Amino acid sequence: MALLRSSTVCENPVPTTCEQIPHIYSSSSCYGRFPQRQAIKALYCQPRSCVESRRRTWNACASLDAQENLAIKFVRHGSAVLEDVPHLTDWLPDLPTYDSPLYHNPAYATGRDFFVGPYDVVARNVVVPLHNPGNRVYFRRAGPSDKVYFKAEEVRACVVTCGGLCPGLNTVIREIVCGLWNQYGVRDIFGIEGGYRGFYARNTVPLNPKNVNDIHKRGGTVLGTSRGGHDTSKIVNSIEDRGINQVYIIGGDGTQKGAAAIYKEVRRRGLKVNVTGIPKTIDNDICVIDRSFGFDTAVEEAQRAINAAHTEAESCENGIGLVKLMGRYSGYIAMYATLASRDVDLCLIPEVPFYLEGEGGLYDFVQKRLRENGHMVIVVAEGAGQELVNSSESVKARDASGNQLLLDIGLWLSRKLKDRYNTRKEVLNLKYIDPTYMIRAIPSNAADNVYCTLLAQFGIHGAMAGYSGFTVGPVNGRHCYIPISRVTEMQNRVNISDRMWARLLSSTNQPAFIDADKKITEELELEAKSSAVLPDSAAIARDVPSQTTAERENSNGIILKHEPAQKTE
């Protein structure tokens, strides 16, 4: 869709009814982080509120958002609202423009119009009720512009990777370098080593198409990475001292928040510097965009672990293959790997609390499935069941990025199952496989390689066109430029009322764990009472999973655990 040229462009558009509030203001998920939006929603839901009061409140709240949300600009045309991204001319209005070098690039000389117009947009939602479509929210469509704000010889670009490893990092680095070099003629490109800390504590690495030619065939990142180390003032000082004017930041939720802080400081100092975010998370928990790079590769590689668990389980009496996959807050990898495998009997994700005891509980289902088939496979996301693994230490401990450190749900669940079958004097052969670090460290597959190429090239086009403080990604299959604050305000989680989760339940025939919260409370209270009568050492042993001599980690990082419970004569 293209917004008409007569559209009103302003930072503080004033709706006149509750229904005209853009999605970013009316979404209930945003209220906790942005209290001023509660005032907007309350005011506009009052039927007799005067227009002038609405105008004052809207402008005041939009002004706050200009500070908190990096000045998301709204372009309004009728019921359509474009959530636009910042541009260099917002604080440097007199910048000159130049014809795009792509006019002279043989790859773009086929006669087709490759350039996107300033009014080309992508719809946030494509499925709406026909009788009440409401306000439609749009993002700016990504692509090359016919006018650019940098000459090739004046560009000094840098690339940095932050956070955990993910398949595809090297591909994104390679395509940023090759895209700048081959499409726009940029020759001054270098990498920042070791994450954000590298801006002020490490030397830079010169990058060119020759030295990044085959890095996409390797896992990890050639630039190195780290968590934490973000010091906005030091980073922007380094950017200014080195003469950098394009910064490409590859990372997840926390990294993108850091990119937003860098953009705000750059804008405050009035620097001609683009800050472009490339969203990365193997868990697929970044909101707004369709998916994150590395996710497809992770699901594909998880199949190998599930297949191994299934083979082990079906080869022995009462065999259980237990596989722990990534997913701190979102269970997408576990869900898609389960659907792809069709060998999984039970999938546990953070979004669905589960309980052990009673009718419809995990123990009941495991016993039924073992009685029917003689074996089963369980897939559990790392963030599932943390409310059951009750430990005060787990709440306090956090990594350098501020993420809560989780206890090993896989070891905890395997111990619980073994204890139950030992108590019942029944045989149980359980193998526990944790392929987490194998999956993170592999190269990206073909689908992710193509996806990483698109992300990198669209990011370059946006930076050359003068946009800043944005991240790039596909929305409903079309790539667009999204304000950084939109992808960091909440996490993308599995919608358990969606058809995809229903498909999984119909595939595994697992319990839906109705009334799980109530059951969990009862189980925790019962465990607390039983722990109170045990010696301190015994209580610790019950709550904290510990490795035994039967657990061992091989060179591939897979933990195998095999402790068959013995029958008592």
Binding-site residues for ATP sit at 164, 227-228, 252-255
- Give first-to-last CA distance, the chain, whole Å: 75
Note whether 219 and 557 are within 8 A (CB).
no
Query: Is 84 one of the annotated active-site residues of the chain?
Result: no
**What token pair was written down for 246?**
């394009």
Catalytic residue among 283, 343, 408, 434: 283
Beta strands 98-99 and 147-148 are antiparallel
Binding-site sequence positions for substrate: 281-283, 326-328, 382, 437-440
Binding-site sequence positions for Mg(2+): 253
> In 264-392, at which residue ranges do the beta strands (DSSP E only) sit?
274-279, 319-325, 346-348, 375-381
Neighbouring CB atoms inside 10 A of 477's CB total 8
Binding-site sequence positions: 164, 227-228, 252-255, 281-283, 326-328, 382, 437-440
Beta strands 478-483 and 136-141 are antiparallel
**Do you know the residue count of the chain?**
569
CA dihedral 513, 517, 522, 527 (to 10 degrees): 90
Answer left, alpha or beta for residue 317, where phi above 0 means left and psi between -120 and 50 means alpha: beta
Under 8 Å CB-to-CB from 93, ≥6 apart: which residues? none
* Dihedral pair phi/psi, residue 534, rounded to 5°: -95, 155
DSSP string, 520-539: HHHHHHHHHHHHHTS-HHHH
What residue type is assigned to position 138 of the chain?
Y
- Contacts by residues 407-411 (CB-CB < 8 Å, ≥ 24 positions apart): 407/544, 407/545, 408/324, 408/382, 408/434, 408/545, 409/324, 409/348, 409/380, 409/382, 409/383, 409/384, 409/385, 410/322, 410/323, 410/324, 410/380, 410/382, 410/434, 411/545, 411/547, 411/551, 411/561
Cα–Cα distance, 391 to 527 (Å, whole number): 12
Cα–Cα distance, 318 to 426 (Å, whole number): 9
- Residue 98 CA neighbour count, 13 Å, CB half: 14
Which residues are identified as catalytic? 283
